[in-house]
Structure 1
C-alpha cells in the first residue's frame, strides 16, 4: 500500500497516509454524527455532533498509528529494518524489509500491537471516568468511551490467531518454535487466516441478505481482505523458501548502461530504441559519476515534445532517495517487497556507493521460474 501523503517521521519511522484513509474517517464520522451521538445524547446542534465526530475519527486514526508504531519500534529493536508505515482504509500497515530472525522476536513484534491497543483502551476508559466524575459534557464522555471501546475491540480482533492479524503472527511464532520450520508455521497461520476470512464473508453476506444489516458488508469486506492477504502471504513464504539463498548479485543485470544527467531528452530519444539505449529504464549519473537516480520511458513521456531540446534527463529522473537500492550480497527475498511496491519496479544495485547493477521484478520472477522448474525436476 503506497502512501499518498507523507506525514514525515515519527520516532524515526516514515509515516504516510493513503487516500483511502478518508473513507474510514468519513464512515466513522458519519456513524457517530448521524447515529450514536444523537441517539445517546439528543438536543445538541448538528454542528456539535459533526465536529466531535470528526475529531473522534481523527483520534481513532491516531490510535491505529500508535498500534503500527509500536510494531515498528519493537521490530527495529529486534534487528528488523522498517521501511515505513502507511495508514489506509482498513487500518495501518508497517512495512518491514525483512522477517523476524527468531520465533521470540516474532512474538515480541506481533504481541506489542494488541497490547498497545489494549493500553489505549484502558487510558481512554480512565479518561472517560475522570470526565464523568467532573461532570463534563455527556457528549464528550460518549466520544471518549467510544474510543475506549473501539481500541479494546481492535486489541481482541487483532489477537485472533489468523494471519495477517497480529494473532496470526503469534500463532506462527508458536508453530515456528514448536516445529523449527518457518514455512510450515506460515502455512498454518495463513490457513487460519483464510478460514477466518471466509467465515466473515459468509456471515457478513448472510447478515445483509437475511437480516438487512448493511454492517455485514463491512465484515465481508474485511473478510475478503483477510483471505487475499493470507493467500499472498502464503505465496510469499513459498517464494522465500525457493529464493532463500539467492543474492541480488545473482539476478541483477551487471554493469548497466547509464545516462548522464545532463543529456537532453532529445539526445536521449535519438538513440532509443535501436541505439545505445535499448531498455526501458536506466540509471542516471551525476556529472561527478555518482548515481543520481533512475529514468524510465514513462518519466520521459512527461516531457512535452516542444521542450525536449531544453529538458535534461536529470530534470525528469526519479531521484535516488525515491528508488529502491540494494547491495550485491543482499537477499533477493528482502528486496522483492520493495521492488513490487515501487513505482518503477526497478532497484539499483550499489557496492560501496558505486553502481554495479540494476534489477527488476521481472528479473526476480524469471529466476524464480527457473529455480522452481529445477526444483521440480530434482523431485
Structure 2
C-alpha cells in the first residue's frame, strides 16, 4: 500500500507500507497490553489495555516515520533525489535514487533523523512522567514505555557503525580532518569492531550478574561487530581492486534466449548446450524487436514445473532490465560492486556500450560472481608478489568465460 503525503508547498514523499509493519504493530500492541501496562497500571479493563497498546505501537511508528520525513527534507535540500519511505517490520526506511556519497551530506541527513527521534522519545517519556494519577495514568504509562523504547532505538542508532547515523557522523568528522573518504570509512569500521566486542562482553557480564536484559546489549554488540567486519572486508577488496576497470575482468556476453520461446524449447535448444560448453547459468533475453528485454537464470527456468514448461514463455520468468545493474567497460570495478551488491538476486551486471541508451542497450560483456572471484584472486596474487595492489593500467587478466 502506498500513500502520498503532500503538504502544500512541499515536494511529495511517497510512503509504502509493507505487510510486515502490521505484524510488528500487533506484536508491540500485545507486549504493551499483556505485560508492560498491566504491571505499571493494574486493574484496568482488557479493552483499555488493548487500546492503549495499539496507540503506543502507533506512536512508535509515528516517531520513526517523522524522523524519516526529516531525513527526506534535509536530503532534498542537499540535492539528493528521494524515492520514498518504506514502512516495514523493522520500522521505516528512507530510500534515495542515488547513494549519498558525500560524508557531510550523509551526516546532516542522519543527524536530522536522530534529532527528531530523540526529541520524540524524550517528549513522550516526559509527558508520561508528568501525567497525573487516576484515569490519565494509563496514558502516562504508554508515554513512558513508548518514549523509553524510542530513546533506546535512538541510542542504538548513535552507535558508530557503518550502517548507522552515529557512524555517518563519525565518518564526516574524520573526513573533515583528513580529507580521505577511505580513512574515514576505515576508522568507522575499526570503531565498530571495538565497540562490538565491548558490548558483547558487557552484555554477557550483565546477563550473568543481573539478568536477561544483558542479552539486548550483547545483540547490539554482535550487530556492530558484524557490520564493522563487513566494512573492513569491503575496504580490503577496494584496495586490492583499485584501478581495475570492468573491461579487464568482464566475461563474454551470455547466450541469447528469445523471450517468446517456451521454457521447454529454451532449455533444449539454448540452455543445455550452453551450460555444457561454457558453464554459464545466466542468459540474456531478447524481445520481438530484437532488443534486450532482461536476463533469465537456469535456476528460474528449471523451477518451472515440467507440465508447465511447454506453455510458459521465457519472458514470464525472466528478470526485466529495470532490475539489472548496467555498466560500461571503462567503469572502475570498485564503483560497480556496491550497485551489484544491492541486487544480489540477479547475480551479475551487464556491460553495455552506453548505459544512457536505455531504449536499446547493446551488451558487450558481463560481470558476475565468476569474474569477480577471478579478479580478486589475480589481484591478490599480484599484490602478494609485488607488494602493492593493481592500479590503473595493470590488468587483472580478463576471464575467458
User: Would the alpha carbon gap of residues 34 and 268 (structure 1) be closer, same or farther in structure 2, given more than 3 Å must change?
Assistant: same
Gaps of 5+ in 1: 1-5
CA distance in 2, matches of 1:84, 1:355: 31
Residue range with higher mean Cα deviation, 66-75 or 229-238: 66-75
Residue range with higher mean Cα deviation, 26-35 or 176-185: 26-35
Shift of 1:281: 0.8
Shift of 1:155: 3.2
Find 2:377's aligned residue among 369, 376, 379: 369
Gaps of 5+ in 2: 6-11, 388-401
Partner of 2:237: 239
Encode CA deviations 1:265-292: one digit per residue, 9 max, x unaligned.
Answer: 1211113555356521112121112222
User: Would the alpha carbon gap of residues 85 and 326 (structure 1) be closer, same or farther in structure 2, given more than 3 Å must change?
Assistant: farther
Answer yes or no: is the 8 Å Cα contact 2:17–2:88 preserved in 1: no
CA distance in 1, matches of 2:335, 2:70: 22
CA distance in 1, matches of 2:181, 2:19: 31
Partner of 2:164: 165
Partner of 1:333: 334
User: Would the alpha carbon gap of residues 9 and 187 (structure 1) be closer, same or farther in structure 2, given more than 3 Å must change?
Assistant: farther
CA distance in 2, matches of 1:83, 1:360: 27
Residue range with higher mean Cα deviation, 152-161 or 190-199: 152-161
Answer yes or no: is the 8 Å Cα contact 2:118–2:150 preserved in 1: yes
Bigger CA radius of gyration? 2
Partner of 2:392: none
TM-score, length basis structure 2:
0.77
1:311 maps onto 2:319 in alignment: no
**3-state SS, counterpart of residue 348 of structure 1:** strand
Shift of 1:307: 2.4
User: Would the alpha carbon gap of residues 65 and 324 (structure 1) be closer, same or farther in structure 2, given more than 3 Å must change?
Assistant: farther
Q: Aligned residue pairs: how many?
A: 370
Find 1:268's aligned residue among 263, 266, 271: 266
Partner of 2:206: 207
Partner of 1:3: none
CA distance in 1, matches of 2:99, 2:308: 46
Answer yes or no: is the 8 Å Cα contact 1:163–1:192 preserved in 2: no
Answer yes or no: is the 8 Å Cα contact 2:244–2:332 preserved in 1: yes
Answer yes or no: is the 8 Å Cα contact 1:13–1:82 preserved in 2: no
CA distance in 1, matches of 2:266, 2:95: 36
TM-score, length basis structure 1:
0.81
Encode CA deviations 1:190-216: one digit per residue, 9 max, x unaligned.
Answer: 2221222222222222232232x2222
Answer yes or no: is the 8 Å Cα contact 1:336–1:361 preserved in 2: no
1:176 maps onto 2:175 in alignment: yes
Residue range with higher mean Cα deviation, 161-170 or 8-17: 8-17
**3-state SS, counterpart of residue 229 of structure 1:** helix
**3-state SS, counterpart of residue 350 of structure 2:** strand
Partner of 1:355: 362
User: Would the alpha carbon gap of residues 63 and 289 (structure 1) be closer, same or farther in structure 2, given more than 3 Å must change?
Assistant: farther
Answer yes or no: is the 8 Å Cα contact 1:13–1:72 preserved in 2: no
Partner of 2:399: none
User: Would the alpha carbon gap of residues 336 and 98 (structure 1) be closer, same or farther in structure 2, given more than 3 Å must change?
Assistant: farther
**3-state SS, counterpart of residue 344 of structure 1:** coil
